[in-house]
């Protein structure tokens, strides 16, 4: 039996119990009240009528006595009214067939014998009750007769039955609504749980891309959200682990290459220098220079590869990112000019101080700027901006490099930080990978927004070493 | 003035407003039941709603004229009777052209006194009351009612069923009940009927009860209080079938004329004739027939003193025989 069925059954049983209990209590209470009301009414009416009728009985004014009883009988709850003399002779009765008859039953005997108002209960057909109320008629201290009223609950029984039916109807409606509500509630609770089960199974299969679609703002929603967050974190950790493993592999590979390739390259380079110095003909010298240049370039590639795989230790110092950016941009001005690119500076001052390796940070900024320049072959605007920024509650500095170039497609964007990924002929594909590695080793983050045909913005965030000034964000500036 | 004139010194009770918006105040009499119910009906029919009360609801054409003072007995539920007979009384006021003030009385004896002292101009009497006073007051009988096509009624001597009373002699030693010692059919006639069989109330019965009304008389016999009694024929006919079933009629009297509506001769022949004509003509128009039907009457016929010669003779004989 699943959870929703159990919940629905439990809620239905509870509703039925409550509705049944309330109905029972209401009916019993009403019955009790009716009985009390009948007794009270009968006592007052019989006593009053007895006192009023004594004179008519004593003076044989039976016409008046008859009218008194007929008036009382107009009350729908009164089934009969009668006056007996002290011998038990019915002197007057609302059913005139009864007059002149002697009564001898136990009820009548007790009624004739009472000195005060006497209420006697008799079961009546159809579950009703008849209340025989007897009030002595006294003249000059002597009991001269008794007035009796019969009050039936039958009329009230009908009202009571109607009331019971109404209560039952309300109870039934409450039960139906309760069951409906319980089933709906059970489904609402179990649906996200079923989704969570599906998600858990997906994660167990290794599909960490599953995310909860539960929108409930309750505990179940929190569980689903936490579950999705857990899957996402797990995916991130796995990605990080894969990348770390890849870097370790690359480091090992780099060491092998350094050992196996750089030494022969040094030998080739030395041999080329010897040949160059031997004074042979110019054609040979030309080719030896080519050999030397290519060896040098190959060495440079290996150097960069080694730096990525086995990055140099950070030489940290406190520095002003704005100032560092200014120094770097001076070097880029001629290149921008050559490519008809307008270089814009938007550097906030002051900025929170960061603790960083200035050389490696310059390398990052240079990489980003060169990529931007290359993305604007027909010219454009290169903007470099810096501002204080808070990420995850931490103060820091944002450094943004924005171009108005070609932008990137979605597929390129997804892989642009991967090592050896390049869209440029002759590119190493290590520039952004190295940049990200440097930024992350500084405890920062690098992110990108791009739109095809409109440009790209690369944003580097670095944590501050002291409390910064005003905080802002560059996010969404390129869209 | 000894009489309790309506709206003045009597016990007042607000009943209902008539069509002119004037409230009628009715006094209840404790001994109303001493007067025959049908007589009361007639009286109310004549006098109650729409009748101009001095200073109150006189018709426009008659506001300046002195009111006719009508003495009549109070009945058990004046509000019902007032509502039922107001149209007739409105018609009468308009026909006579005089306002009418109402004087409620408990018994025929009080009405007799009013007429004798000049405190009332018109009154309703039963036959015995009429013959009892006509010699002492200058009164003119105007009309008497016709009911179910008859202008007379009878006295029924009733006994309880299964009481073993089949003839007059069986009544000896029993308890007998009557409405009122001034009732024609409820006392005088049965007394004469008993005498015809050599029976005297004071001698031949265990007890003689006077219970106030014809209906109570019938009920007293039916419920075993008494073995026998006497009631007016129209009262007997109106009894509940369950009560009738408990009664047997031992004997019945010769027909007796209904009591008259009488007026003081001082009103003048012209006015007396207009009042008489109003009642006599009632059953000659569809509207009048409708009003009479609502009151349970067939109409009215002219009453003369000769109509009551037999009653007067009856009273004489009873008086000669002693109490």
Paired strand residues for A146: A84, A136
Q: ∠B109-B113-B119 over CA atoms, to 5°?
A: 135
Proportion of chain A above pLDDT 70, given as a percent: 94
Per-residue confidence at A470, pLDDT binned at 50, 70, 90? Answer: very low
Minimal Cα distance from B215: which residue of A? A63
Place of tokens 């014998």: A113
CB contact under 8 A, B220 and A66: no
Q: Which secondary structure element, helix H or strand E, spans residue A356, and what is its range? A: strand A354-356
**Would you call A60 and B216 a contact, using CB atoms and an 8 Å cutoff?**
yes
Residue of A60, A67, A97 with shortest CB distance to B220: A60
What is the predicted pLDDT for the residue at A299?
Answer: 81
Rg of chain A taking only CA atoms, in angstroms:
52
Residue ranges of the domains in chain A?
3-159, 225-309, 317-463
Contact A398, A414 (CB under 8 A): no
pLDDT greater at residue A216 or residue B33: A216
Say what the pLDDT of residue A471 is: 42
pLDDT of residue B9: 26
Q: What percent of chain B has pLDDT above 70?
A: 72
Across residues B79-108, what is the average pLDDT? 71
Mean pLDDT of chain A: 84
Residue B75, pLDDT score: 45
Domain with residues A225-309, CATH architecture: Orthogonal Bundle (1.10)
Give the residue, A28 or A40, on which the prediction is more confident.
A40
pLDDT digits (tens, 9 = 90+) for B279-312: 899 999 999 998 888 877 889 999 999 999 988 8
Which of A89-103, A166-180, A404-418, B35-49 is the least confident region? Answer: B35-49
Tell me the residues of A at the B interface, defined by beta carbons under 8 Å apart.
59-64, 66-67, 89-92, 95-97, 99-100
Of B223, B224, B226, B247, which to mutate for an interface test with A (greatest number of A Cβ within 10 Å)?
B223
By DSSP bridging, strand A142-152 and strand A78-85 are antiparallel
Query: Regarding predicted confidence, which is higher, B8 or A461?
Result: A461
User: What's the pTM?
Assistant: 0.56
Share of chain B above pLDDT 90, in %: 33
- The CATH T-level fold of domain A3-159 is Beta-Lactamase (3.30.450)
When mean pLDDT is compared over A118-122, A205-209, B131-135, the highest value belongs to A118-122
Distance from C-alpha of A296 to C-alpha of A300, rounded to nearest angstrom: 6
Domain A317-463: top CATH class: alpha beta
Q: Indicate the pairing of strand A354-356 with strand A341-347.
A: unpaired
**Least CB-CB distance to A61: which of B160, B216, B243?**
B216
Q: Domains for chain B: give ranges and CATH numbers.
A: 14-150+257-320 (3.40.190.10), 155-253 (3.40.190.10)
User: What tens digit of pLDDT does each residue of A289-315 get?
Assistant: 888 888 888 887 777 777 777 777 888
Kindly state the average pLDDT of the residues B141-155: 90
For residue A132, what is the enclosing H or E element?
strand A129-139
Which of A70-74, A217-221, A264-268, B58-62 has the highest average model confidence (pLDDT)? A70-74
The residue in chain B having the minimum alpha-carbon distance to the alpha carbon of residue A64 is B216
Give the ipTM of the model, two decimals please: 0.74
Kindly indicate the confidence band of residue B51, based on its pLDDT and cuts at 50, 70 and 90. very low
Task: List pLDDT tens digits, range A306-365.
Answer: 777 777 788 889 899 888 998 889 888 998 999 899 999 998 888 889 999 999 999 999
């Amino acid at each position: 039996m699943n959870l929703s069925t159990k919940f629905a059954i439990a809620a239905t049983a509870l509703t039925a119990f409550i509705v049944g209990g309330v109905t029972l209590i209401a009916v019993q209470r009403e019955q009790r009240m009716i009985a009390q009301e009948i007794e009270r009414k009968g006592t007052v009416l019989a006593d009053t009528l007895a006192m009023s009728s004594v004179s008519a009985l004593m003076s044989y004014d039976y016409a008046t006595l008859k009218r008194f009883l007929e008036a009382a009988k107009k009350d729908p709850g009164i089934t009969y009214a009668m006056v007996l003399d002290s011998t038990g002779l019915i002197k007057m009765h609302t059913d005139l067939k009864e007059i002149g008859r002697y009564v001898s039953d136990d009820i009548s005997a007790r009624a004739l014998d009472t000195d005060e108002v006497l209420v006697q209960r008799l079961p009546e057909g159809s579950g009703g009750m008849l209340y025989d109320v007897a009030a002595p008629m006294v003249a000059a201290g002597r009991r001269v007769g008794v007035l009796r009223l019969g009050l039936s609950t039958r009329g009230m029984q009908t009202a009571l039955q109607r009331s019971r039916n109404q209560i039952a109807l309300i109870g039934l409606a409450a039960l139906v609504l309760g069951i409906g509500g319980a089933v709906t509630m059970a489904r609402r609770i179990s649906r996200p749980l079923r989704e969570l089960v599906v998600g858990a199974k997906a994660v167990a299969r290794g599909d960490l891309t599953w995310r909860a679609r539960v929108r409930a703002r309750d505990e179940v929603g929190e569980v689903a959200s936490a579950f999705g967050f857990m899957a996402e974190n797990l995916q991130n950790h796995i990605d990080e682990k894969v990348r770390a493993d890849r870097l370790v592999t690359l480091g090992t590979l780099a060491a092998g290459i350094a050992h196996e390739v750089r030494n022969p390259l040094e030998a080739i380079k030395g041999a080329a220098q010897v040949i160059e110095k031997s004074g042979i003909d110019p054609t040979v010298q030309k080719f030896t220079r080519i050999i030397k240049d290519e060896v040098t370039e190959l060495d440079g590639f290996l150097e960069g590869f080694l730096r990525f795989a086995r990055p140099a230790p950070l030489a940290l110092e406190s520095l002003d990112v704005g100032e560092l950016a200014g120094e770097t941009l001076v070097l880029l001005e001629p290149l921008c000019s050559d490519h008809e690119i307008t270089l814009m500076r938007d550097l906030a001052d002051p900025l929170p101080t960061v603790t960083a390796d200035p050389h490696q940070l310059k390398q990052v900024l240079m990489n980003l700027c060169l990529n931007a320049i290359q993305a604007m072959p027909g010219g454009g605007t290169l903007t470099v901006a810096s501002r204080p920024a808070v990420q995850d509650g931490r103060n820091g500095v944002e450094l943004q490099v924005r171009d108005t170039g070609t932008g990137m497609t979605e597929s390129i964007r997804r892989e642009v930080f991967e090592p050896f990924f390049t869209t440029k002929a002759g590119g190493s594909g290590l520039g952004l990978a190295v940049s990200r590695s440097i930024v992350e080793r500084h405890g920062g983050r690098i992110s990108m927004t791009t739109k095809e045909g409109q440009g790209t913005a690369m944003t580097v965030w670095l944590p501050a070493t002291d409390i910064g000034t005003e905080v802002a964000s560059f996010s969404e500036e390129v869209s | 003035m000894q009489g309790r004139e309506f709206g003045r010194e009597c016990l007042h009770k607000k009943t209902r407003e008539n069509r002119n918006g004037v409230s009628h105040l009715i006094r209840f009499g404790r001994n109303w039941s001493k007067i025959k119910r049908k007589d009361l009906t007639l009286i109310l029919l004549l006098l109650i709603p729409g009748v101009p009360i001095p200073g109150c609801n006189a018709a426009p054409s008659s506001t300046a004229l002195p009111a006719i003072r009508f003495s009549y007995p109070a009945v058990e539920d004046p509000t019902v009777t007032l509502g039922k007979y107001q149209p007739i009384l409105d018609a009468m006021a308009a026909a006579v052209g005089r306002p009418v003030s109402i004087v409620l009385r408990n018994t025929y004896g009080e009405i007799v006194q009013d007429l004798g002292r000049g405190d009332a101009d018109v009154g309703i009497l039963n036959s015995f009351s009429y013959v009892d006073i006509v010699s002492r007051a200058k009164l003119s009988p105007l009309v008497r009612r016709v009911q179910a096509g008859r202008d007379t009624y009878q006295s029924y001597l009733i006994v309880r069923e299964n009481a073993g009373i089949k003839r007059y002699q069986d009544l000896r030693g029993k308890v007998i009940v009557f409405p009122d010692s001034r009732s024609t059919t409820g006392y005088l006639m049965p007394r004469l009927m008993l005498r015809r069989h050599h029976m005297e109330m004071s001698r031949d019965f265990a007890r003689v009860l006077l219970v106030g009304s014809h209906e109570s008389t019938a009920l007293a016999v039916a419920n075993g209080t008494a073995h026998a009694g006497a009631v007016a024929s129209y009262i007997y006919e109106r009894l509940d079938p369950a009560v009738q079933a408990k009664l047997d009629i031992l004997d019945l009297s010769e027909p007796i004329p209904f009591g008259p509506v009488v007026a003081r001769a001082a009103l003048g022949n012209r006015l007396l004739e207009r009042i008489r004509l109003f009642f006599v003509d009632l059953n000659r128009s569809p509207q009048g027939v409708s009003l009479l039907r609502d009151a349970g009457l067939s109409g009215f016929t002219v009453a003369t003193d000769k109509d009551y010669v037999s009653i007067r003779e009856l009273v004489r004989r009873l008086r000669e025989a002693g109490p």
